Amino acid sequence: MSIKLNDKLVIGISSRALFDLDESHQIFEKEGLEAYLRYQVSHETDILQPGVAFSLVKKLLNLKNPNSGENLVEVILLSRNSADTGLRIFNSITEHQLGITRAAFSNGRSPYRYVSAFKTQLFLSAHSEDVQQALHANCAAATLLPSPAKTSSNHELKIAFDGDAVLFSDEAERIFQEKGLDAFKKAEVESAKKPLQDGPFKGFLSALHQIQQMFTPENCPIRTALVTARDAPAHERVINTLRAWNIRIDEALFLGGLSKGDFLKAFEADIFFDDQDGHCHSANEHVATGHVPHGVKN
Catalytic residue among 162, 164, 170, 275: 162
Distance of CA 16 to the CA centre of its chain: 14
Helix (H, G, I), strand (E, B) or coil at 216: coil
Strands 289-291 vs 140-144: parallel, antiparallel or unpaired: antiparallel
- The rounded distance, in Å, linking the Cα atoms of 234 and 226 is 14
List, in order, residues 6 or more apart from 32 with CB less than 8 Å away. none
- The rounded distance, in Å, linking the Cα atoms of 56 and 9 is 14
Calculate helix-pair angle for 235-245, 181-190, nearest 10 degrees.
40
**The one-letter amino acid at 157:** L
Burial code of 56-76, b = ≥16 C-beta within 10 A, e = fewer?
bbbbbbebeeeeeeebbbbbb
Helix (H, G, I), strand (E, B) or coil at 109: coil
- The rounded distance, in Å, linking the Cα atoms of 262 and 282 is 8
* Three-state SS annotation for 238-265: HHHHHHHHCCCCCEEEECCCCCCHHHHH
The DSSP secondary structure of 160-178, one letter per residue, reads EE-TBTTTB-SHHHHHHHH
Asked if 270 is an active-site residue, the reply is: no
**Are the beta carbons of 15 and 79 closer than 8 angstroms?**
yes
Question: What backbone phi and psi angles, to 5 degrees, belong to 236?
Answer: -65, -40
- The rounded distance, in Å, linking the Cα atoms of 51 and 68 is 31
Active site residues: 162
